[in-house]
Amino acid sequence: MGLALLLAVFFAARHLGLSEASRAQSRAASGREQKVVAIDAGHGGNDPGKVGVNGSLEKDINLAVAERLKRYLEQSDVQVVMTREEDKGLYRDRDQRKKMADMKKRCQVINKAEPDAVVSIHQNSYPQEDVSGGQVFYYRDSGEGRRLAERIQERFSLLSGGENGRQAKSNDSYYLLLHVESPVVIVECGFLSNWAEARRLADEEYQDRLAWTIHMGIMEYLNGAGARAAEITEKGETS
């Protein structure tokens, strides 16, 4: 990597880290009463995502979990913005590079909403059949993203009865993590390469439990974030 590129990456990362706190403060200062959460159901349309050992498609499971999660959040008085609500990508037919067009559009929709938190729903796959369990990813330099990821990851441990030894993991290359300006996580709900888990992931009742699990993690994060913002405001007033 050339020095110029290295510096560009360094400053981009720095910029992201510094502006995170100020963006959170401006959201708090805007006096918006309702919390806003953006849900991104990964893939869709001509992009099925991972294909399960049982033939189930990642894009369908992502949307099913996203729709249930939307309902749970709305019941908790959270305003929800969805990047897609049907089996469609966010590209246009005339787009040459459909995957890139799709990812850019998702980020545009999310950033425009200035959400307090963002979850992108996905399913995983791995060459070894015995690998299973949910895992949450956050952008390496985002403290808020990490907090959100950890709350949801803890909830996954409860879902699996403590068997899920996985931990929230940082990442510095996923497109969405790099281009979304709010605290954002990618939730890989489970492995479609594992027979038992693929069967569960295709089951409506389990999809509902997944949605509830993610919803609980988000609510814990939002309540904690509210307390942190109040603390910042208080310190600002007394100084």
When the beta carbons of 78 and 214 are compared against Zn ion, the nearer one is 214
- Shortest distance (Å) from residue 214 CB to Zn ion: 15
When the beta carbons of 106 and 122 are compared against Zn ion, the nearer one is 122
Side-chain-side CA neighbours of residue 178 (13 Å): 11
- Shortest distance (Å) from residue 66 CB to Zn ion: 12
- Shortest distance (Å) from residue 120 CB to Zn ion: 8
| Cα–Cα distance measured from residue 100 to residue 89, given in angstroms and rounded to the nearest whole number | 11
Pair 146, 168: CB distance under 8 Å: yes
- Shortest distance (Å) from residue 21 CB to Zn ion: 30
Q: Which residues bind Zn ion (CB under 5 A)?
A: 42, 49, 122
Distance (Å) of CA 140 to CA 11, 143, 145? 14, 8, 8
When the beta carbons of 50 and 147 are compared against Zn ion, the nearer one is 50
Buried b (16+ CB within 10 A) or exposed e, 56-67: bbbbbbbbbbbb
When the beta carbons of 141 and 188 are compared against Zn ion, the nearer one is 188
| Cα–Cα distance measured from residue 236 to residue 98, given in angstroms and rounded to the nearest whole number | 46
Residue least distant from Zn ion (Cβ): 122
